[in-house]
Homo-oligomer: A and B are copies of this chain.
Amino acid sequence: MTDYSTGLAKTEANYQPLTPIQFIARTATVYPNKTSIIYDDLVQSPITYTWAQTYNRCRNLAHGLKKLGINKDDTVAIMAPNTPAMVEAAFGVPMSQAVLCTLNTRLDIGALTFCLQHSEAKVLILDSEFAEHVDLIEETFPHLILIHATDRAFAETKPFGKMSYEQLIEFGGFDSEQAKADFDRSIYPSDEWDAIALNYTSGTTGKPKGVVYHHRGATLNALSNILDWDMPKFNTYLWTLPLFHCNGWCFPWTVAERAGINVCLRQIDANLILKLIAKYNITHYCAAPVVHNMIAAGDEALKQAITHTVNGFVAGAPPSEAMLEKMEAMSFNITHVYGLTEVYGPVTICAEHDEWQQLSVAERASKKSRQGTTSHLMTGFEVLKQGTNEPVAADGTEMGELALKGNMVMKGYLKNPKATEEAFAGGWFRTGDLGVKDADGYIKIMDRLKDIIISGGENISSIEIENILYGLPQVNSCGVVAASNEKWGEVPVAFIEIAEGATLTRDQVIEHCRQNLAKFKVPKHVIFCEIPKTSTGKIQKFELRNAAQSMANEEPKVKH
């Protein structure tokens, strides 16, 4: 103890737990009449709210949940597309001290059942679009309180559950301004380490794991988004990224802090997106590469109609140089960020440098497709020699495992102390991605640990081959995986989805690869098909691997 630590304890006056709830409370107070949410399908008239209204609705949601018996650390699940209810849940659920579990809308009933069971959800808010699941859910979880989030787009859906979402908002209303003010004192967490959200991993390698976020991390991630992007107040944010994915990379909290506008949309459609960008002067959006590709392939006239600066974050998979080139041609300002469910979404950024403007488009795209450096409020991003805490050389060659540390790393896995301990072994969260560090300190993924192809004793990066394939304009999307092979150990197999209206032959692909890749990296099989993707646009490599196994030990179609 020194004089600087004596008689200087935390008090209510000088310490408050960090929480994104503070963001909406301040914005609703200072900018009550600014627009908070616009929900527009360009068919019916848009639904809009102000920040005062949104805050009121979130407060009512929290109060309604409490009246339904929800307590601190109960799980409240929601399964909905990017509707206003999803934005409100990001505040209303934690304001009731409960933990928000946003469910992937593409879950099949098996995975959905697993998540509801594992999270012990007490409430499920279910959008009309997923009404097909109601019977089985009610049968499997007789004590689950089901809330029906209705929508004009599904006016014919038969009401289900205990009440509708709008009825819950009404049910949570207050008798007096005093009661409201009293409730407002209860909406903050008692500890910033308290859980705010639960997000299930996609479970490509086994059962999904429940990733727990806390208020401190959510706050800092939301702020880091602002710093990364120099995001000014009153921006207009388009919800192209699923809100169920890492709580929309914390952007509901970011947009509230900035007193910005959430433009919600139910479905991902290139021309709808382009129209909304023009109509609302969208300044910012996030999406996986597949969505950016969709936008880039949208209607030319709609693209021309956009004359203001649009900023996009791309993550979920390394963006191809071809995609970055196309977006640049549209004058969109695209930044590559990188993260995982375990770190609240992106926590690294490929921050650009002035001198990159002197490079060719292709060279610049190559720089920009790297995973880069830490986000502004993240502490550590390193490439560690496997199984050690020792960084690889910054030579762009030595491979190691990407590792992260800092306040934007999850609290841990729910009910899985063993997995949590393993994930944090040595004081780093190890990502399972393999990469190198360039001389400028920027980090680049070479592959997922499990996606690396080892052929004839040589490491082949599946991503390197994919990037070459994307150089063919006819390639809409592609995935390269290993197939076992008696002679070579493994060989690369390319799956290619051809762009609509285009034609491409196997020989053209092989020839293109031969011109751009070392011989041993040229795919040994080329399969044209629709590429299976997760709801977030990630290519489902395990499915490709299964398909590739059928080719195992076939004589390679192309000689070394």
Which residue numbers of A lie inside 8 Å of B, CB to CB?
2-8, 10-16, 18, 22, 26, 29-31, 72-73, 99, 120, 193-195, 212, 217, 223, 226-227, 230, 232-233, 257, 351, 353, 373-374, 376-377, 379, 404-407, 409-412, 414-417, 420, 423-424, 427-429, 441
Contacts and interface: CB of A to CB of B under 8 A. Distances in A.
A8 B212 contact: yes
A377 B411 CA distance: 23
A183 to B, nearest CB: 17
A195 B16 contact: no
B8 A420 contact: yes
A311 to B, nearest CB: 13
B230 A16 contact: no
Given A4-B414, A8-B411, A16-B407, 7 more contacts: A4-B411, A5-B194, A11-B424, A12-B427, A13-B423, A22-B379, A29-B441
Contacts of A212: 4, 8
A412 B12 contact: no
A14 B427 CA distance: 8
Given A30-B441, A374-B26, A379-B22, A405 B13 contact: yes
B409 A13 contact: yes
Nearest to A13: B424
A7 B417 contact: yes
Contact of A373 (B30, B373, B423): B30
Contact of A226 (B7, B227, B406, B412): B227
Contact of A4 (B26, B195, B376, B427): B195
27 contacts: A3-B415, A4-B73, A4-B194, A4-B195, A4-B212, A4-B411, A5-B194, A7-B412, A7-B415, A7-B416, A7-B420, A8-B412, A8-B420, A13-B409, A13-B429, A14-B410, A14-B411, A14-B429, A15-B407, A16-B379, A26-B373, A26-B374, A26-B376, A31-B353, A223-B227, A226-B227, A230-B233
Q: Which residue, A4, A8, A230, A233, has most C-beta atoms of chain B within 10 A?
A: A4
Contact of A73 (B5, B13, B226, B411): B5
A412 B14 contact: yes
A44 to B, nearest CB: 29
A381 to B, nearest CB: 10
A31 B227 CA distance: 15
Contacts of A379: 16, 22
Nearest to A18: B407
A429 B87 CA distance: 34
A377 B18 CA distance: 9
Nearest to A429: B13
Given A3-B73, A407-B18, A373 B29 contact: yes
Contacts of A233: 230
B14 A405 contact: yes
A226 B2 CA distance: 33
A18 B73 CA distance: 26
Given A227-B257, A230-B233, A14 B424 contact: yes
A423 B99 CA distance: 36
Contacts of A99: 4
A193 B10 contact: yes
B3 A414 contact: yes
Contacts of A8: 195, 212, 411-412, 420
A15 B117 CA distance: 29
A428 B11 CA distance: 9
Contacts of A429: 13-14
Contacts of A415: 3, 6-7
A414 B217 CA distance: 31
Contacts of A423: 13
Nearest to A181: B391
The 4 closest A-B pairs by CB, nearest first: A7-B417, A12-B427, A14-B409, A4-B195
A451 to B, nearest CB: 24
A410 B18 CA distance: 16
A18 B379 CA distance: 10
Contacts of A230: 230, 232-233
A429 B14 CA distance: 8
A420 B18 CA distance: 23
Nearest to A374: B26
Contact of A13 (B416, B427, B441): B427
A212 B377 CA distance: 24
A4 B376 CA distance: 28
Contacts of A120: 3
A405 B16 CA distance: 8
A233 B412 CA distance: 33
Contact of A257 (B5, B217, B376): B376
A123 B455 CA distance: 63
B16 A406 contact: yes
